[in-house]
Structure 1
């Protein structure tokens, strides 16, 4: 009876939403005429088969104002969520359950930093990027005032406030935070170092190991750049975020010496948490002197990724370590002071007020030392380690961001030198800026402000804040940053792995992935010299990991196969695995569950359940398993609390027994039913989709994909014992561009270009995406206008 009532209630909700959508909340307007105040002239917007706007204007201001309007009508609620995360105002909009997240972001300092960055942005005067940003903001607010708001606002009983430049900087702050791996990793590494000792750390890959792959650098002499200069766990907090995290990426640029056309071939796929809508919004803009096809974050007018007719720019995460923690020593005579050497410094306190929906505002205290804000009150991982104050030193909040200026200049660049200069403006988060152009140049810059650390500071273990010699010693000049310009090998690739040594000879520390994706990309590209847009697709869609079969063989070497004759068929498939995660494969289904149980049996007794789960969330897991198995005298094997000294043979064998028993219970005895397709799910969650039955309406479900840990086509999931792996992140777009035919470049998004549930473009690319298909990035005006599926004309509002 309850089930029938639930179904009936769901049908009623669908009916109500359908009526509301038809009457009040129609699809974004893709056809017709609109008047906008502030326009100088007529603007035409042509929408293609996938709802991508192609904007034709006679001035820059008109183009950006129009972009603001069409972006808002497709992605306003996404913009709302992103600005509220960065500004620490989620509880005001969604209620008290989000209060802890707001406190965390306020303590970290992003809302205050956004205000400071906005003030600096205005103080620079009437710069081109300020004029363009303000025009875009005006367009967003035009839609808020006269457009039909997304249905989410009705369901929440809310209305959007006007969009501001401070909001825009809050969104940049949110983006920067999602790269801050130190908050997940450093407390865990410190815990292992303090409670277990160096021998336990030595069995993991905290720093880059010799077997990992580094990105080659190539410093040119011709380019010069100005180089002035009850607290939930963090994982539980991040699980509540209504927006996805930016996690990784691949990009490679192939010089004409290795392509069929003799022109540069450009590829980028940014790895971001899956969500509905997906992160990137595609838009193409044309006005006198400017032609650009970009991928935009909601609320940001400039494309972080995109191309003109003469240059293309992409990005991956640099993964540099720009976040340190200092454990302070309190003055025994005054708990509001800390000691640093022979000096005494005050702890500065301030109160901040957070509005909470449906209840009184929350006033709370933020305390800061000379090293940064004290994090104990908002981080369970930190408070569990020590009762001493622990301060967060994070490069991003140390100075106002110039990200908007940098991105604008990159979009409008006319030369490789202009892109290099713009990359030098980015202080945080660390980004690998990838570049190719029609003249034949290829380039990569690791864009970030890199600190010179004291020899006494381990970048992933809490530093002694009372030691004055642990203070940072300054900054490396941008010209020392890892980079490569037109290398002789004819390609550049980045895949979140360690760059080779800087010009100064320093191997800069970070949260780098082991380079398995990079190595696969590099080996494949150097295998031939006739790449084109079609042939390179196979590499971008590849689901092979060459290291995991090696790990499997290492684990198999510790067991007796004759003890598992009942499972000979599936174990033979595992023995013969080449690392391919095709949906029909059996090996991945066994491997990931076995890996989980090996690590759980070996590590959870030392770490505890929460810390072990945190370990599974860090980059250390991805790059440590092979080293973990290969390390002699690895102390993790011994289980605490037993009289025996457990061996790897014992742990690995017991883990396999549990694995096979669980898989049999889960999938049955037929090996065919153990295929990877049966263990993988893919759903793009909407912020309201956590509430049933709204998940059925707003979330986008897709067919299974070749989920994997570190293949080129990285489709990631959380390692767990469940045996069902929900893909949580992957390529947020797949771009391929051959400069022999810029108008013929291709891409695809995971869901669709619109975030409006009533738009036909809400999920119209999901099947293309899971099947490894692409669609065009149109730039040819005649083709666009001939094939246009909608034409929206904006005209100035007459006084």
Structure 2
């Protein structure tokens, strides 16, 4: 027995020692890729010595003798901190994820190949200005200098992820940066998905008024009556249940309802306490670890530029120079149209056009798959655009037999000058120059908010606006017959047609993804807008002060009061407040009374420490589900987030909308009060099962956790606890400090889409500008800069960023010197 024990002890000890050695070895190899920020590195393509000065937040300040050298330095800094992220985004745009990740990403690769984003980016290189071509080449040289250094000095392949998912580190090319910009356009595109959902919903609802309730226009002048999808395509399938698969974190398509958002506003000198223009901006995207944003300062010949960059591109997408600041918000421009294309019944390789049947334009493409045989695709295009498979965007659910679906989209241009426009903005010094600089922007369409040192402010929609025929059958709201000439695009509208607000009389301009203009189709910009609620709170905060300061702009940026909650609760609970007899403790009636008591005293603040936001959110979610479930059936699964305008229409009985309150399958006629009471009970049962019945002890932040998850390692057992960043957060779907909820899974209130970047600038004292990102500068999980900014972000704090070289050098914690290659 003793012998057995001794051998077990020896074996256990050996196993422990081996495990420790393995851990040490893994850590050593992974830590080799941690950047050393104080070193001298030779770089091919560099004209003169260059310095990258990093402050204690790891923000690089890049000083060079020429603009191209500075862009080279930015490429090197991006590759130091975010090489894995850059390479993954490039593979995504190329449709080559499956070479590394295997069969799980074949559908993603297939879609990206069919969209042809990377070949279009390659073609677009030639239409950039000569200066931008040089800048792109210089940036690529900087990225490649880091790759060469990694290979030369055995620096752990550049990131720990490359050990787990090995693949060649191909040199960076100018087209790669253009492809990243096109990939961003895909991440922000929501009209395609909305067209499909509207078509599916219209097939279920026989009453056009009820469709208007559920998918309402933002209040304002309505559109003309339109045909339903069934009228356009009587043979459309009546299969309503979508094949819901778990969404792969690598999928660049936005999840339903998450196509992009943002806030930006500016005040002219007449509304500024300091006498200088003010600007605030916080773009919203899917939360990831690391965030997509990367702070940097570029010392260009035209002056310093500082703000938020996207690794992979040599531009400051949101930020300021000494004289001009710019912020971006999703414009919701309708820049996508789906077309149902009729196949020739005698030859399925031909598609109908206004001039008769014509053959598809085709090309073969091979998708290589790790540990599996390659897949050969036949890519097809019609005159309207690429043909998409029925397996994506639920297109198979709306495609009649003998038809296929194609896509027209402004981003599918081989002459996309968006990069040139974005880089021109870095050299603009006034609002007027900024508006002119972005004339060549194509996609993604953005609202650009501008402020300059003279006190001028403006908002301009930048991006190509499709020219549609006023006789378009669906006005771009539904997939339309592609063989009818009136439905097809007729080029682009001139840049002058893009809405603009320059030096508005009120001295304040801004956008929360709200409707910005009321114009008749086809100059309407969009029927789909991203916000109808945040803008109301923004208007109140802006108009409640005669003049604003940097701090009041920060206060608005971090505001968590829900206008939707304030407006809906008195309406929905009108006949429930303080009614009925006192109920014994422990009964459902008493729990409902306690919940109503809490909500009656609540001011609508979605504070993470309060119970009321959770009760309100759960009530509204269950209420909407009860209202629509019997009419929509399986399609109700696509309406998992609350639409405040729908609930308002129902409870105000706008155009007969209270009809939603009656349950079709029941014998009695339910009232809206009945449904509101039952939905509150549903919500309290869910809360009780999930968090307990002690309502006073509930915390919104326990449900509304920010999910900064690693796209690859975030679901790996054990490892996910090291790579994911989870935080209790305030805000909600309809607050200015927006934290959009997932609407799915066991916890539909997770904060999955929020401001990855925040910046506020005062042009009287530009060095008082403050910035923050949602995670940290580094994408390396062993770096202290992987998540150091996330703590500030959660608390609503910022880091100062100055264009003063002396301040940058005084606070330096590392200086990387790049020298020309001998």
* Alpha-carbon shift at residue 391 of structure 1 (Å): 1.8
Q: CA RMSD in A?
A: 2.8
Q: How does 1:302-381 map to 2 (within 5 A)?
A: 302-341=315-354, 343-379=356-392, 381=394
How has the CA–CA distance of structure 1 residues 607 and 108 changed in structure 2, closer, same or farther, with 3 Å as cutoff? farther
Question: Counterparts of 1:16 and 1:648 in 2: how far apart (Å)?
Answer: 64
Secondary structure of the 1:459 match is coil
2:267 alignment counterpart:
254
1:732 alignment counterpart:
756
Residues 1:682 and 2:706 are matched in the alignment: yes
Question: Counterparts of 1:341 and 1:56 in 2: how far apart (Å)?
Answer: 57
Question: Counterparts of 1:580 and 1:33 in 2: how far apart (Å)?
Answer: 51
Provide the TM-score with structure 2 as the length reference.
Answer: 0.88
Say if 2:193 and 2:393, in contact at 8 Å, map to a contact too. Answer: no
Say if 1:306 and 1:411, in contact at 8 Å, map to a contact too. Answer: no
Question: Counterparts of 2:350 and 2:74 in 1: how far apart (Å)?
Answer: 50
Question: Counterparts of 1:389 and 1:8 in 2: how far apart (Å)?
Answer: 61
1:583 alignment counterpart:
608
1:48 alignment counterpart:
55
Residues 1:273 and 2:286 are matched in the alignment: yes
1:185 alignment counterpart:
194
1:143 alignment counterpart:
146
Say if 1:51 and 1:753, in contact at 8 Å, map to a contact too. Answer: yes
Say if 1:423 and 1:433, in contact at 8 Å, map to a contact too. Answer: no
Say if 1:117 and 1:401, in contact at 8 Å, map to a contact too. Answer: yes
2:566 alignment counterpart:
549
Secondary structure of the 1:529 match is coil
Say if 1:593 and 1:723, in contact at 8 Å, map to a contact too. Answer: no
How has the CA–CA distance of structure 1 residues 35 and 717 changed in structure 2, closer, same or farther, with 3 Å as cutoff? same
Residues 1:539 and 2:545 are matched in the alignment: no
The 10-residue stretch of structure 1 (277-286 or 631-640) with the greater mean CA deviation from structure 2: 631-640
Say if 1:246 and 1:271, in contact at 8 Å, map to a contact too. Answer: no
Say if 2:738 and 2:754, in contact at 8 Å, map to a contact too. Answer: yes
Say if 1:747 and 1:776, in contact at 8 Å, map to a contact too. Answer: yes
Say if 1:153 and 1:159, in contact at 8 Å, map to a contact too. Answer: no
Question: Counterparts of 2:425 and 2:330 in 1: how far apart (Å)?
Answer: 17
How has the CA–CA distance of structure 1 residues 378 and 187 changed in structure 2, closer, same or farther, with 3 Å as cutoff? same
The 10-residue stretch of structure 1 (499-508 or 570-579) with the greater mean CA deviation from structure 2: 499-508
2:168 corresponds, among 135, 153, 159, to 159
Question: Counterparts of 1:754 and 1:359 in 2: how far apart (Å)?
Answer: 34
1:222 alignment counterpart:
none
Question: Counterparts of 1:508 and 1:649 in 2: how far apart (Å)?
Answer: 38
Secondary structure of the 1:515 match is coil
1:698 alignment counterpart:
723
How has the CA–CA distance of structure 1 residues 650 and 758 changed in structure 2, closer, same or farther, with 3 Å as cutoff? same
* Alpha-carbon shift at residue 344 of structure 1 (Å): 2.4
Secondary structure of the 2:531 match is coil
| 1:639-688 residue CA offsets vs partner (Å, 9 max, x unmatched) | 45555555434433322222112212222222222231332222311122
Secondary structure of the 1:748 match is strand
2:204 alignment counterpart:
195
Question: Counterparts of 2:771 and 2:604 in 1: how far apart (Å)?
Answer: 26
* Alpha-carbon shift at residue 326 of structure 1 (Å): 1.6
The 10-residue stretch of structure 1 (453-462 or 99-108) with the greater mean CA deviation from structure 2: 453-462
How has the CA–CA distance of structure 1 residues 719 and 627 changed in structure 2, closer, same or farther, with 3 Å as cutoff? farther
| 1:228-253 residue CA offsets vs partner (Å, 9 max, x unmatched) | xx998688456542798762100001
Residues 1:132 and 2:135 are matched in the alignment: yes
Say if 2:282 and 2:757, in contact at 8 Å, map to a contact too. Answer: yes
* Alpha-carbon shift at residue 445 of structure 1 (Å): 0.6
Say if 1:747 and 1:777, in contact at 8 Å, map to a contact too. Answer: yes
How has the CA–CA distance of structure 1 residues 437 and 258 changed in structure 2, closer, same or farther, with 3 Å as cutoff? same
The 10-residue stretch of structure 1 (46-55 or 199-208) with the greater mean CA deviation from structure 2: 199-208
Secondary structure of the 2:552 match is coil
Q: How does 1:211-230 map to 2 (within 5 A)?
A: none
Secondary structure of the 1:253 match is strand
* Alpha-carbon shift at residue 365 of structure 1 (Å): 2.2
Question: Counterparts of 2:644 and 2:24 in 1: how far apart (Å)?
Answer: 46
2:409 corresponds, among 381, 394, 401, to 394
2:648 corresponds, among 619, 622, 626, to 626
The 10-residue stretch of structure 1 (337-346 or 497-506) with the greater mean CA deviation from structure 2: 497-506
How has the CA–CA distance of structure 1 residues 707 and 463 changed in structure 2, closer, same or farther, with 3 Å as cutoff? same
Question: Counterparts of 1:503 and 1:650 in 2: how far apart (Å)?
Answer: 40
Say if 1:255 and 1:265, in contact at 8 Å, map to a contact too. Answer: yes
* Alpha-carbon shift at residue 98 of structure 1 (Å): 0.5
Question: Counterparts of 2:393 and 2:552 in 1: how far apart (Å)?
Answer: 49
Secondary structure of the 1:562 match is coil
1:438 alignment counterpart:
453
1:744 alignment counterpart:
768
The 10-residue stretch of structure 1 (774-783 or 410-419) with the greater mean CA deviation from structure 2: 410-419
How has the CA–CA distance of structure 1 residues 724 and 101 changed in structure 2, closer, same or farther, with 3 Å as cutoff? closer
How has the CA–CA distance of structure 1 residues 96 and 238 changed in structure 2, closer, same or farther, with 3 Å as cutoff? closer
1:717 alignment counterpart:
741
2:489 corresponds, among 456, 472, 477, to 472
Question: Counterparts of 2:190 and 2:123 in 1: how far apart (Å)?
Answer: 24
1:518 alignment counterpart:
535
Q: How does 1:93-112 map to 2 (within 5 A)?
A: 93-112=100-119
How has the CA–CA distance of structure 1 residues 640 and 352 changed in structure 2, closer, same or farther, with 3 Å as cutoff? farther
Residues 1:562 and 2:575 are matched in the alignment: no
Q: Which runs of 5+ in 2 are unaligned?
A: 1-11, 223-238, 582-588
Question: Counterparts of 1:12 and 1:689 in 2: how far apart (Å)?
Answer: 25
* Alpha-carbon shift at residue 761 of structure 1 (Å): 1.1
2:395 alignment counterpart:
382
Question: Counterparts of 1:30 and 1:680 in 2: how far apart (Å)?
Answer: 36
Question: Counterparts of 2:252 and 2:360 in 1: how far apart (Å)?
Answer: 33
The 10-residue stretch of structure 1 (231-240 or 27-36) with the greater mean CA deviation from structure 2: 231-240
Residues 1:210 and 2:227 are matched in the alignment: no
Secondary structure of the 1:584 match is coil
Question: Counterparts of 2:575 and 2:248 in 1: how far apart (Å)?
Answer: 38
| 1:268-326 residue CA offsets vs partner (Å, 9 max, x unmatched) | 11111111111111111214433111311110011111211011111111011111112
* Alpha-carbon shift at residue 622 of structure 1 (Å): 5.6
Say if 1:277 and 1:752, in contact at 8 Å, map to a contact too. Answer: yes
1:86 corresponds, among 93, 105, 117, to 93
| 1:360-391 residue CA offsets vs partner (Å, 9 max, x unmatched) | 22112233222222224332611012333122
* Alpha-carbon shift at residue 129 of structure 1 (Å): 1.0
Question: Counterparts of 1:431 and 1:233 in 2: how far apart (Å)?
Answer: 32
How has the CA–CA distance of structure 1 residues 233 and 108 changed in structure 2, closer, same or farther, with 3 Å as cutoff? farther
Say if 2:422 and 2:441, in contact at 8 Å, map to a contact too. Answer: no
2:426 alignment counterpart:
411
* Alpha-carbon shift at residue 102 of structure 1 (Å): 1.0
Say if 1:14 and 1:697, in contact at 8 Å, map to a contact too. Answer: no
Secondary structure of the 2:741 match is coil
Question: Counterparts of 1:413 and 1:698 in 2: how far apart (Å)?
Answer: 39
* Alpha-carbon shift at residue 264 of structure 1 (Å): 0.3
Provide the TM-score with structure 1 as the length reference.
Answer: 0.90
Say if 1:581 and 1:707, in contact at 8 Å, map to a contact too. Answer: yes
Question: Counterparts of 1:566 and 1:515 in 2: how far apart (Å)?
Answer: 32
Residues 1:74 and 2:81 are matched in the alignment: yes
| 1:584-620 residue CA offsets vs partner (Å, 9 max, x unmatched) | 32221112212222222222344343x3332336xx9
* Alpha-carbon shift at residue 787 of structure 1 (Å): 1.7
* Alpha-carbon shift at residue 727 of structure 1 (Å): 0.9
Say if 1:250 and 1:316, in contact at 8 Å, map to a contact too. Answer: yes
| 1:728-786 residue CA offsets vs partner (Å, 9 max, x unmatched) | 12111111111111122111111111112222211111111111111101221111111
* Alpha-carbon shift at residue 119 of structure 1 (Å): 4.4
The 10-residue stretch of structure 1 (292-301 or 661-670) with the greater mean CA deviation from structure 2: 661-670
* Alpha-carbon shift at residue 638 of structure 1 (Å): 4.3
2:231 alignment counterpart:
none
Secondary structure of the 2:685 match is helix
Secondary structure of the 2:214 match is coil
Q: Which runs of 5+ in 1 are unaligned?
A: 213-229
How has the CA–CA distance of structure 1 residues 676 and 426 changed in structure 2, closer, same or farther, with 3 Å as cutoff? same
